[in-house]
């Protein structure tokens, strides 16, 4: 047999042997991996002990105990470095990440760390509540292995988790009154995480806790611009916008919320009313926002919101002597003529600057509904007749049932609550607003 034929006969065996040697001395490529754990031999020059391959196969089958034993048998040199990485991975996978941290400190002290080592220690840091360290390590790993997009994805995941943890800490600092620490944590959270509605909304919530309401509203607006504000944060943003006078944002948010949940319908109506009030003349706007509404304020609001009141024909009645010289005498006298505002028959005084009691407000609104002919307020709501309605607890209960007053409140009424009651009547048959020419 010629020498050439002899070589050909043994060539297949040589190929098999070469492949076997390569499998024993280099990383396994049978299972391509993109995320933790990476093959601990990756980035290291062989040859490697067979125990490293056995340890890696044990990791792939999640037999961490056997993996640790195999890696512990590795000899010095490249095998020992790969085995150290494998041991870290085994500890992390078995839920003992805190035990892996000292090994990471030692391994990372060596020059030229590999992507496998960086990702293993990054995962150990992530699972021991060290998000900043985890993000940095995973970013280094991704830079070393650009062909592994999973490493960069994990870094992004950890940035969000790191920000969430920082936000938890910021909330704790804010609750404890530690403003400086809270602000530092918020700044780091915003720097580490991608700009997302969830992160910005949580930042805004902490800022509200610290009284930074304007800054919080700015972050809510940014989240809205991104288009990914969580639903529960939409309600918080709407409430803050309404309180801070950003009525356009409040109306938009509450209208959207009401389209999904009818429970927000009243808040949407309140926001729309607040938006309109913001554009009213100063006297009416001040009355609508008064914490303690006066009797003259109620008359001016009624005059402003209902053309029917301004245009109503009235017969002569009681004259209030303490109203004649006032600049708002016409609205107050019209309220008296329509029976909305009572005059003391003995003193002939209407006391226009006195606060409006809740009972008087209830009587006012119910009497106004009769004057306007709008008695069908709610199904089953008692309809007041044209006869005088006396102020009292029963009148308050009726006004509450008709949706004109809230169920709870003090003995006096605010301009906001009274205006909502007027708006409820006005919405039955909208007539427009504006002063008498």
Domain holding 214: CATH number? 1.25.40.10
Write out pLDDT tens, residues 62-79. Answer: 999 999 999 999 977 789
Residue 348 φ/ψ region, left for φ over 0, alpha for ψ in the -120 to 50 degree band, beta for the rest: left
Structural domain including 299 reads 287-428
Q: Are residues 52 and 143 in the same domain?
A: yes
Asked if 255 contacts 284 with a C-beta cutoff of 8 angstroms, the reply is no
For residue 167, tell me if it sits in a domain: no
- Kindly tell me if the per-residue pLDDT of 208 is higher than 80: yes
Higher per-residue confidence, 214 vs 376: 214
Domain boundary pick from 84, 112, 147 = 147
Residues 425/404, Cβ–Cβ less than 8 Å? yes
Q: Do both 252 and 314 map to the same domain?
A: no
Q: What is the mean pLDDT of residues 300-325?
A: 85
Q: Judge contact between 48 and 25, C-beta under 8 A.
A: yes
Residue where one domain finishes, among candidates 227, 250, 277: 277
Range ranked top by mean pLDDT from 200-209, 308-317, 340-349: 200-209
- Residue 394: its pLDDT value, please? 82
Give the separation between CA 396 and CA 404, rounded to whole angstroms.
9
Q: Is the pLDDT of residue 48 over 70?
A: yes
Q: Are residues 142 and 182 in the same domain?
A: no
Q: Report the CATH number at residue 75.
A: 1.25.40
Q: Is 50 exceeded by the pLDDT of residue 13?
A: no
Give the CA diameter of the chain.
Answer: 142
Whether residue 194 sits in one domain with residue 235? yes
Q: Is residue 434 part of a domain?
A: no
Per-residue pLDDT at 315: 66
The string of DSSP codes covering 209-258 is: HTT-HHHHHHHHHHHHHHT---HHHHHHHHHHHHHTT-HHHHHHHHHHHH
State how far the Cα of 166 lies from the Cα of 130, in Å rounded to an integer: 10
- Asked if residue 267 and residue 215 are part of one domain, the reply reads yes
Residue 295 and residue 419 in one domain: yes
Residue 164 has pLDDT above 90, yes or no: no
**What mean pLDDT value characterizes the chain?**
84
- Please check whether residue 99 lies inside any domain of the structure: yes
Total residues found in the chain within this entry: 437
pLDDT band at 298 (very low <50, low <70, confident <90, very high): very high
Higher pLDDT, 196 or 244: 244
Q: How confident is the model at residue 436 (pLDDT cuts 50, 70, 90)?
A: very low
Mean pLDDT of 256-276: 92
Of 170, 194, 200, 202, the closest CA to residue 183 belongs to: 170
Q: Do 297 and 420 belong to one domain? A: yes
Task: With respect to residue 164, please indicate whether it lies within any of the assigned structural domains.
Answer: no
One domain for residues 336 and 413:
yes
| pTM for this entry | 0.63
Asked whether residue 75 falls in the same domain as residue 178, the answer is no
Token pair 């969430």 is at which residue? 164
Judge whether 161 lies within some domain.
Answer: no
Q: Are residues 294 and 270 in the same domain?
A: no
Nearest to 360 by CA among 316, 266, 294: 294
Q: In the listed set 242, 257, 277, which residue is the last one of a domain according to the structure?
A: 277
Based on the fold, state whether residues 235 and 339 are members of the same structural domain: no
Establish if 191 belongs to a structural domain: yes
Whether the pLDDT of residue 311 is over 60: the answer is: yes
Give the chain's domain count.
3
Pair (411, 291) in one structural domain = yes
Higher pLDDT, 115 or 229: 115
Asked whether residue 56 is assigned to any structural domain, the reply reads yes
The whole-number pLDDT of residue 374 equals 57
């Amino acid at each position: 047999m010629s020498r050439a034929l002899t070589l050909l006969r043994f060539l297949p065996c040589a190929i098999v042997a070469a492949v076997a040697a390569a499998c024993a001395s280099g990383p396994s490529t049978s299972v391509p991996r993109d995320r933790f754990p990476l093959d601990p031999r990756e980035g290291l020059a062989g040859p490697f002990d067979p125990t490293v391959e056995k340890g890696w196969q044990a990791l792939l089958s999640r037999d961490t105990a056997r993996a640790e034993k195999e890696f512990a048998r590795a000899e010095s040199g490249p095998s020992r470095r790969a085995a150290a990485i494998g041991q870290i991975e085994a500890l992390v996978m078995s839920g003992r990440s805190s035990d892996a941290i000292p090994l990471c400190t030692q391994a990372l002290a060596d020059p030229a760390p590999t992507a496998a080592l960086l990702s293993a220690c990054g995962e150990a840091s992530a699972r021991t509540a060290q998000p900043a360290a985890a993000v940095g390590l995973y970013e280094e790993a991704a830079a070393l292995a650009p062909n592994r997009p999973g490493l960069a994805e994990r870094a992004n995941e950890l940035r969000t988790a790191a920000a969430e943890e920082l936000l938890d800490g910021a909330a704790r600092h804010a609750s404890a009154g530690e403003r400086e620490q809270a602000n530092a944590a918020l700044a780091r959270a915003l720097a580490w995480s991608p700009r997302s509605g969830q992160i910005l909304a949580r930042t805004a919530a902490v800022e509200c806790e610290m009284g930074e309401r304007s800054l919080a509203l700015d972050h809510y607006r940014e989240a809205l611009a991104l288009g990914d504000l969580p639903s529960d944060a939409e309600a918080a943003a709407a409430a803050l916008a309404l309180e801070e006078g950003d009525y356009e944002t409040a109306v938009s948010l509450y209208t959207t919320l009401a389209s999904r949940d009818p429970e927000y319908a009243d808040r949407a109506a309140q926001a729309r009313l607040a938006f309109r009030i913001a554009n009213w003349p100063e006297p009416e706007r001040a009355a609508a926002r008064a914490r303690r509404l006066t009797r003259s304020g109620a008359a001016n609001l009624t005059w402003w919101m209902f053309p029917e009141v301004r245009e109503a024909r009235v017969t002569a009645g009681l004259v209030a002597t303490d109203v004649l010289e006032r600049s708002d005498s016409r609205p107050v006298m019209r309220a008296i003529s329509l029976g909305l505002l009572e005059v003391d028959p003995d003193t002939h005084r209407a006391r226009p600057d006195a606060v409006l009691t809740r009972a008087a407000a209830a009587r006012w609104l119910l009497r106004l509904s009769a004057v306007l002919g709008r008695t069908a307020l709610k199904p089953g709501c008692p309809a007041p007749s044209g006869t005088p309605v006396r102020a009292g607890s029963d009148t308050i209960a009726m006004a509450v049932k008709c949706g004109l007053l809230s169920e709870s409140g003090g003995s006096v009424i605010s301009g906001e609550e009274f205006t909502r009651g007027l708006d409820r009547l006005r919405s039955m048959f909208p007539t427009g607003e504006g002063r008498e020419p």
